[in-house]
Amino acid sequence: MSEGPLLLSPLRLGAMQLPNRVVMAPMTRARAGADGVPTEIMATYYAQRASAGLIVTEATHFCAEGQGYMRTPGIYTPAQIAAWRKVTDAVHAKGGRIAHQVWHVGRVSHPLNREPGSRSVGPSAIPSGVNIFTPDGILPAPVPDALTQQEIAAVVRGFAQAARNAIDSGFDGVEIHGGNGYLIDQFLQGSANRRTDGYGGDARNRSRFLWEVCEAVLQAVGADRTGVRLSPFGVFNGVNDQDPATLFGTAIEGLARLGPAYLHVINPEVSGDRTVQAGAIDVPRFSRQHFPGTLMVAGGYDRVSAEQALRQGVADLIGFGRPYIANPDLVARLRGGLQLAKAARATFYTDGAEGYTDYPAPA
């Protein structure tokens, strides 16, 4: 076993050689242009954090119906794809590695935040019950249209094309966002999925959409460049399930058979309106039992708990979210045992440099 911290030791992750196991976890920061085009300031932001073993970008939609929030980036127009190339070039120029997280928000959306004429969609016509911040204030998400099987197939193809676009934009890999109550999670969890066809009913049927998306992305860009994120046992954006252990055990074992480069899970008790379901168990250990491949865990870790998780074999990589907002040099701070700066919550989702690219490195 290594004498030094495992957190700072290298790891081969599919097609990528990582210099350390510190991952910048995906975080929505709402700095894209109104047309979903990544901005110059986003390139600066990610490049500042290039010392991470791996950066995973904020979630990015691949069609108008996949957008839920204001100022989130897309990856389906020529302008969006070209602008992402500036981001990856900036990160690579600093010696970093960056993966692109792709999502579809499903029913967690509002028409004021999307292109005119686009719809809110989901597995079933069941509203999320959440409110969405829009240009006109905070408004309830509408009842979604239930996707037809033909439309489901088109969304699967959309995920695959987004992955191709990401690799064409210079990304080192792609992460499928399958958690936090967005479209894939809506198909997984019984509160949002009341379908009676092959995508609804038991845990295998409700996992089918996740597996089809993963398989399509694997075929598009290769297993060695594909990761998947799930939020087992978490309650977020109105989703829950009566038997989460069976559901997520089934879903994760199916992913293991497909063989992506890694599985990324988030602890459900971290923040916001993520809450632990009754009877929830240790998510990293649960996931490890069902997924023998490379496992990334995120949510509430510090230097000590991250090292402990790696030493115990519970995880192979540790994702840090909020610590990376105020600490672009997080790896150096972890290495030196330095105090971490605190992020200003009020600037998490505003536009401009304040609270985004203006956090200083330590003297």
Active site members: 182
Contact in structure between 148 and 206 (CB atoms under 8 Å): no
pLDDT of residue 270: 56
pLDDT of residue 276: 53
pLDDT in tens, 101-158: 999 999 999 999 999 999 999 999 999 999 999 999 999 999 999 999 999 999 999 9
Task: Decide the pairing of beta strands 145-146 and 121-122.
Answer: parallel
Distance, CA of 34 to CA of 56 (rounded, Å):
22
pLDDT of residue 268: 83
pLDDT of residue 219: 98
pLDDT in tens, 320-347: 999 999 999 999 999 999 999 999 999 9
Spans of the chain, pLDDT less than 70: 1-3, 269-280, 362-363
Distance, CA of 338 to CA of 334 (rounded, Å):
6
pLDDT of residue 2: 45
Q: Mind giving me the DSSP string for 70-115?
A: TT--BSSSHHHHHHHHHHHHHHHHTT--EEEEEE--TTS--GGGS-
pLDDT of residue 90: 98
Query: Which domains can be identified in the chain, with CATH numbers?
Result: 6-347 (3.20.20.70)
pLDDT of residue 56: 98
pLDDT of residue 167: 98
